[in-house]
Structure 1
Amino acid sequence: MWLVRVFSGMGINFMYPFLPLFVRDLGIEDPGRAALWAGAAIGVSGIPMFICGPIWGVLGDRFGRKRNALRAIFATAAALFLMGLSTKVYHLVVLRFIYGVVTGVDATSTALIASTTPREKIPFSIGALYSSSSIGHTLGPILGALVAETLGFRAAFFTAAGLLAFGGLLVALLARENFQPAPAGTPLFPHNAFRSLWKLISSRRVFPVMIVLFIVHLVPPMMFVALPLLLEQLKIRSVAGATGIAFALIGLMSALASYGSGWLANRVGMLRIIIAASIGAGLAYLPLLLLNTFPSILLTLTFIGLFQGAILTTSTTLVGMAVPTAQLGAAFGSMQSVTLSGFTTGPLIAGIVVSTLNIRFVFLAQSIGVLSLAVLVGTVVRRYYWASKPS
């Protein structure tokens, strides 16, 4: 699964360095409108992700988490391939909506790993898993920018689909799951499945964690809209290439921090790591309000990537430690709804900020977002998270 997350992370992150530029290639010339359409193209998948995530999670608990992971990987690959065939910007938006219905690679693979790992080793396992995702996030933008520069934007979408399909083959051939199928005659959706799920995620222990996850995944993707346009303003010769390098650096630092925070979680405490990393990230975003050189921006992104990786890993681990093993698939499906809603809302907000205010205000919004996360974790989550233990 470590290798699978590398390939899936590469494929999913192929498009982000050039998506605003691809929108321009589809006929939207004005920078403000291009930012708004790019944010819409990313953000439109949020609604179906929110609705379908728990459904896919319950089905994974019912029919097997490996099958669910395979479904998500190959369906996402097909959606990316079709995006490469877009000829109008609304084609891209519609396909991103379909992508939201079928995707869930991270959630399904995380549920598969968490369900087959001893509970005391979940923090380290999820840390290792997120380090592989971060490596994919590192290599994806670089390769995506390279393919886009040499072969064109459409070829980059096709290559991304191929990487995901290869990851799916690895899951099919190598992943193992000791899944016990439900007895014959069991309803597809037991009458109390969603009631039990709602009781779980609305509990005082889990609900604050879901709010944390929304903020955690809301803030970073705002950069997808703002950073390419900022680098374009700096008159950098290859904007797609420079953006790929920038996102790759963030991914590399996130990978290092993911592995380290997973190892430290049982020693220092997950909540302490999230609070410290959130404060650090909030301060690290602020220099981007003023910096005007590519090297100085890269230096700032180095620290942002480190703090971001620590936050992502430890916040996801909170879910794995908070819920019973029998409900891990549904819980991570719900987590997918929350996190991907944040992931898609972030670019929408960034697009609105860019079109109405200024590119730099996006970084201020990111700083405020992660600093509010530190306050939330230090107060509400700290109070309720350890109040009860999962069975």
Structure 2
Amino acid sequence: MINWKVNLAVLWIGQFFVMAGMTMIMPFLPLYLKELGLQDAQEIATWTGIIFAGNFVTSFLFQPFWGGMADRYGRKVMLLRSGFGMAIVMTTMGFAHAPWVLLVLRLVNGTISGYAPAAVALMSTNTPRDRIGFAMGTLQSGAVAGTILGPLIGGLLAELIGFRYIFYVTGAMLFIATVVTMLLVKEKFNVEEAKKQPKVSVMQGYRDLRPIRQLIALYSITFVIQFSIQSSMPLMALFVEELHGTGELLAFYAGLVGSITGFSNMAAAPLLGKLSDRIGPQRILIFSLAGAAIFFIPQAFVQNVWQLMAARFCLGIFIGGLLPTVNSLIRTYTPVGMESRSYSFNTSALSLGNMLGPVTGGMLSGILNIRQLFLFAAFMLAVNAVWSYRTLMKAPANPSIKPGE
């Protein structure tokens, strides 16, 4: 195996553990909040959305800063900083005794996070150009699989060892993944040459990228994707409880419903990434947005847990073609030397969607039920597909900025 394949294998594992650790608490969080003393369903839904989104509030604010640091000092350094930092914070969450403590620690975790954009930037600049689509698809499958399989793992662990010990297990997994990254990942990066470049503030970095209208469009697309997918998550455990009842294995079923898309996603993302290398990532992106919109619709009409699982499994196939193609397109339009900064702005857009989606879903729970939120997500993704077609397929290329080679 040549170095880029070793990097890809190690970073896939790292992405999986990082994203699984960040989402592992989701299936049992409403149940855990009941254990901490909350009883009102509306209050539980609101706290669930706020705690889950807290990580993404500070991540949204700090990602561009860490992206600029990565462009100056290297992406591997940012991987290690983020990985070890999150391992410590995640372990500390096991000592929380009130909802506000979990919220504060999630805010801290978002401040020091940055593993995902650093991994994407490192792969995009250390992979042969004709294999970038495959690499981005495979790498993203690790991140999305972690995001979606995390709830399943969390649900299983909740049944086996209880809620609090899950945080200790997660911290240990993050620590091990970061040690493996430190030992095996290789990066071609000239630190001395990068330090010679003038220091650029976050706002100046954004102003430098703003004239590339395709990048701004891609950031908007990322936000809508995440907002649509995450808006129903705070209510998912309660929806499973409505379909299944309050019997045994409720936490397990809640985790399985949140995770089932991960199985199809892991298989589909590398295949769609390889296909994007042949026919273009723009076409794969539009196809995947349309497919995701279609398979949100049947979720609004399911009558049992197994029907919900089937619909979400099909949804996962199309999720596998979303963020990987966005990342491939960002690499295409980003000037050389600004890769980490460009990806960090996209991560901020992703974090903003992850932040506002659950919060909005939780706040709307008193007005809309989860079935109506599924239809709302389908509508947003369909509109996003039309927007992508008009901005990426029909709009002329920007003649003033040469895309990164």
Assess, with a 3 A threshold, how the Cα gap between structure 1 residues 43 and 184 changes in structure 2: closer, same or farther. closer
Determine which of 16, 32, 35 is the counterpart of 1:6.
16
Distance 1:304 1:97 in 2: 30
Distance 1:204 1:117 in 2: 25
Q: Does structure 1 residue 15 correspond to structure 2 residue 25?
A: yes
Aligned to 2:306: 295
- Report how far residue 61 of structure 1 moved: 1.0
Aligned to 1:340: 351
Q: Is the 8 A contact 2:289 2:385 kept in 1?
A: yes
Determine which of 63, 68, 71 is the counterpart of 2:78.
68
Aligned to 1:248: 259
- Report how far residue 202 of structure 1 moved: 4.8
Which shows bigger deviation, 353-362 or 90-99? Answer: 353-362
- Report how far residue 185 of structure 1 moved: 7.6
SS of residue matched to 2:392: helix
Q: Is the 8 A contact 1:280 1:307 kept in 2?
A: yes
Aligned to 2:141: 131
Distance 2:325 2:264 in 1: 15
The one-letter code sitting in structure 2 at the alignment partner of 1:146 is: L
Deviations 1:208-227 (A, max 9, x none): 11101111121222232121
Assess, with a 3 A threshold, how the Cα gap between structure 1 residues 302 and 288 changes in structure 2: closer, same or farther. same
Which shows bigger deviation, 33-42 or 217-226? Answer: 217-226
Which shows bigger deviation, 193-202 or 362-371? Answer: 193-202
Deviations 1:148-200 (A, max 9, x none): 1121111112211111111101111111112211369859x715674244221
Aligned to 1:121: 131
Q: Is the 8 A contact 1:227 1:243 kept in 2?
A: yes
- Report how far residue 82 of structure 1 moved: 2.0
Calculate the aligned-residue CA RMSD, in Å: 2.1
The one-letter code sitting in structure 2 at the alignment partner of 1:67 is: V
Assess, with a 3 A threshold, how the Cα gap between structure 1 residues 329 and 347 changes in structure 2: closer, same or farther. same
Assess, with a 3 A threshold, how the Cα gap between structure 1 residues 230 and 380 changes in structure 2: closer, same or farther. same
Aligned to 2:186: 176
Which shows bigger deviation, 265-274 or 178-187? Answer: 178-187
The one-letter code sitting in structure 1 at the alignment partner of 2:165 is: A
Assess, with a 3 A threshold, how the Cα gap between structure 1 residues 282 and 185 changes in structure 2: closer, same or farther. closer
SS of residue matched to 2:302: coil
Q: Which runs of 5+ in 1 are unaligned?
A: none
Determine which of 315, 325, 333 is the counterpart of 1:322.
333
SS of residue matched to 1:17: coil
Aligned to 2:377: 366
Aligned to 1:233: 242
Q: Which runs of 5+ in 2 are unaligned?
A: 1-10
Aligned to 2:111: 101
- Report how far residue 139 of structure 1 moved: 4.0
Assess, with a 3 A threshold, how the Cα gap between structure 1 residues 137 and 193 changes in structure 2: closer, same or farther. closer
Q: Is the 8 A contact 1:201 1:331 kept in 2?
A: no
Which shows bigger deviation, 48-57 or 189-198? Answer: 189-198
Q: Does structure 1 residue 212 correspond to structure 2 residue 221?
A: yes
Distance 2:140 2:377 in 1: 22
Distance 2:374 2:75 in 1: 38
Identity %: 27
TM-score (norm 2): 0.90
Q: Is the 8 A contact 2:42 2:366 kept in 1?
A: yes
Assess, with a 3 A threshold, how the Cα gap between structure 1 residues 236 and 255 changes in structure 2: closer, same or farther. farther
Distance 1:231 1:184 in 2: 51
Distance 2:130 2:376 in 1: 36
Q: Does structure 1 residue 309 correspond to structure 2 residue 320?
A: yes
The one-letter code sitting in structure 1 at the alignment partner of 2:53 is: G
Q: Is the 8 A contact 2:292 2:315 kept in 1?
A: yes
- Report how far residue 86 of structure 1 moved: 1.2
* TM alignment of 1:137-286, pairs within 5 A: 137-182=147-192, 190-191=199-200, 194-234=203-243, 235=245, 237=247, 238-286=249-297
Distance 1:118 1:385 in 2: 27
SS of residue matched to 1:206: helix
Deviations 1:204-245 (A, max 9, x none): 121111101111121222232121110011215322100221
Q: Is the 8 A contact 2:64 2:202 kept in 1?
A: no
The one-letter code sitting in structure 1 at the alignment partner of 2:241 is: E
Distance 1:91 1:384 in 2: 47
Distance 2:289 2:359 in 1: 22
* TM alignment of 1:82-97, pairs within 5 A: 82-97=92-107
SS of residue matched to 1:182: helix
- Report how far residue 87 of structure 1 moved: 0.8
Q: Is the 8 A contact 1:7 1:166 kept in 2?
A: no
- Report how far residue 356 of structure 1 moved: 2.9
TM-score (norm 1): 0.93
